[in-house]
Homo-oligomer: A and B are copies of this chain.
């Protein structure tokens, strides 16, 4: 929940003069999205989102993110589309921040995930993976395996403040994953942050996917592993195998996955749990007092990691 940058009337007007959006009728900060400042912008032409990219988003990555949304939308994926101004550009600057206007998507993200949400998610994710295959740009996943050790090292000394013994347990897990992490699996553009608050539903359909600001090129199955963690646990602790089965089966009807991907799933799920555990741990230990954003509890992902450590094969995820 965040608006980090207040946009003045003058700046807003000068910015919007570069678009054909009609007259502004409303402009309200939105309490969603942790990384950027988001405003709901209503004009005589419709509703839009104005996003100001704050410090966590690298400017050099923005053409990838904005280009991807445009590309996916062209391929029929329901996602926000960046608007181009009179000069043909989608990315410009406001209040010293890179900024873009994107289309507004109808729908609600599920505060409580139901099995049917998981089925719809699996299908949409597979379609998104296929649609991304013709996208020309490439971006490494800086939060995949090679990014974890530096993150861990910046937290290790204080990790035991969160849970005694955590530093050692994470060191062990990291070593295992570094050795065993797969080198070759089918890959392409993944969302890499497909949490429930980034997926909208409306009238029994999945109406859109938002927030592509972690998207990157990585194993498709790693996106699945992220979603097993983000969508298939009850009360953040108990794995719901029915949800996992629905998600994975709906996915493979659209993009069948190989035996290699299936076998790698438990390890990828451990990696994905470690990734979110580490970034949350980092935020937990480094957030300034009085910060706008309440950091998320890293321990949620500790429980999830522990679950996947005990998994002996993809059967645990409801697949035969």
* Interface of A toward B, CB cutoff 8 Å: 1-3, 6-10, 12, 23-32, 40, 42, 104, 106-108, 110-112, 202-203, 287, 289-295
Contacts and interface: CB of A to CB of B under 8 A. Distances in A.
A8 B203 contact: no
Given A1-B3, A6-B111, A30-B29, A106 B290 contact: no
A108 B31 contact: no
Contact of A292 (B112, B203, B294): B294
A283 to B, nearest CB: 11
B106 A9 contact: no
Contacts of A10: 112
A315 to B, nearest CB: 31
B29 A32 contact: yes
A136 B290 CA distance: 42
Contacts of A25: 106-107, 202
Given A111-B6, A112-B10, A290-B294, A106 B28 contact: no
A62 to B, nearest CB: 22
A143 to B, nearest CB: 24
Contacts of A42: 106
A50 to B, nearest CB: 12
What DSSP secondary structure best describes chain A's contact surface? loop
Nearest to A113: B9
Given A3-B1, A10-B112, A290-B290, A28 B32 contact: yes
Contacts of A7: 111
Contacts of A112: 8-10
A65 to B, nearest CB: 21
Nearest to A39: B31
Contact of A31 (B1, B104, B111, B287): B1
A108 B24 contact: yes
A32 B40 CA distance: 12
Given A28-B31, A30-B40, 17 more contacts: A1-B1, A1-B2, A1-B3, A1-B29, A3-B31, A7-B111, A9-B108, A9-B110, A12-B108, A26-B108, A28-B30, A28-B32, A29-B31, A289-B289, A290-B290, A290-B291, A292-B293
Contacts of A8: 111-112
A44 B27 CA distance: 21
A30 B27 contact: no
Contacts of A294: 290, 292
Nearest to A1: B3
